[in-house]
Homo-oligomer: A and B are copies of this chain.
Amino acid sequence: MDAPRTVDLGFARLDVDRAARTGTPEVVYAAGKTPDQTVACLAALLEADGGGFAWATRVDAPTAAAARARWPGAVVDEEARCVLVGTPPDPVGTVLVLTAGTSDGPVAAEVAATLAACGVGCRRVDDVGVAGVHRVLAVAPDLAAADAVVVVAGMDGALPSVVAGLTDRLVVAVPTSVGYGAAFDGLAALLTMLTACAPGVLVVNIDNGFGAGVAAARIVRSVQR
């Protein structure tokens, strides 16, 4: 394997051939970076992409402002805490994104933003928790129309177990830190999803909408290949 290209910014070493290698362009994870560092990374990725597109996750308000100052056309998705600079690829396929409750919304928004950045279509249906299981049954047509499913749930995290029993699509489960007490900041939902009694459930880190989005995008791209 030829060594992939790296762009060295001193504080960061950008893996600019990642898209070619893994199908997913490198993203800037802004948590723990200063606004200047994030903007510099975005600029370098944008340049490496020939000016096309670059984006960042876990962006706080000062960083979003810094990005907008540099690229006035940048799209800031406040719910998802993402910034997108330039034009993402046209969307192909469809991923169904379900949430168990309204409070899971920001994580689902990160999934949706990630799908957009990866050029994959998204349909989102919120608040279909299992306490009213008829709401889950009602999404059957959406399941049949999707290439993959992402289920976002906090508290008991029970939704993926029910959904995976209703569909032959792969279910990517995202536990969220929604809840209190024995929810232990998402640990309860994480364990529930890892031990789901229905097979076909795959799990990402707590609140990791980005990871779920990338994975779902890879599934769609496999289908389209």
Interface segment among A59-67, A68-76, A82-90, A160-168: the answer is A160-168
Could you tell me if A31 and B180 are in contact, using CB atoms closer than 8 angstroms?
yes
Could you tell me if B155 and A196 are in contact, using CB atoms closer than 8 angstroms?
yes
Could you tell me if B207 and A180 are in contact, using CB atoms closer than 8 angstroms?
yes
Could you tell me if B218 and A195 are in contact, using CB atoms closer than 8 angstroms?
no
- Complex-state Cα separation, A167 to B21, whole angstroms: 6
Interface size class of chain A, counting residues whose CB lies under 8 Å from the partner chain: 35 or more
Count of chain copies: 8
Could you tell me if A197 and B136 are in contact, using CB atoms closer than 8 angstroms?
no
CB distance from A129 to the nearest CB of B (A): 5
What residues on B are CB-neighbors of A210 within 8 Å?
199
Which residue on chain B has the smallest CB distance to residue A22? B168
- A residues whose Cβ falls under 8 Å from a Cβ of B: 1, 3-4, 6, 10-13, 15, 18, 21-24, 27, 29, 31-33, 37, 100-103, 105, 126-138, 140, 147-148, 155-158, 161-162, 164-170, 172, 175, 177-208, 210-211, 214-215, 218-219, 221-223, 225
- 21 A–B contacts from the bound complex (CB under 8 Å): A4-B132, A6-B138, A13-B127, A21-B167, A24-B168, A29-B101, A32-B103, A33-B103, A101-B197, A130-B158, A131-B197, A133-B165, A156-B196, A158-B197, A170-B222, A175-B181, A181-B195, A181-B206, A187-B191, A194-B205, A200-B211
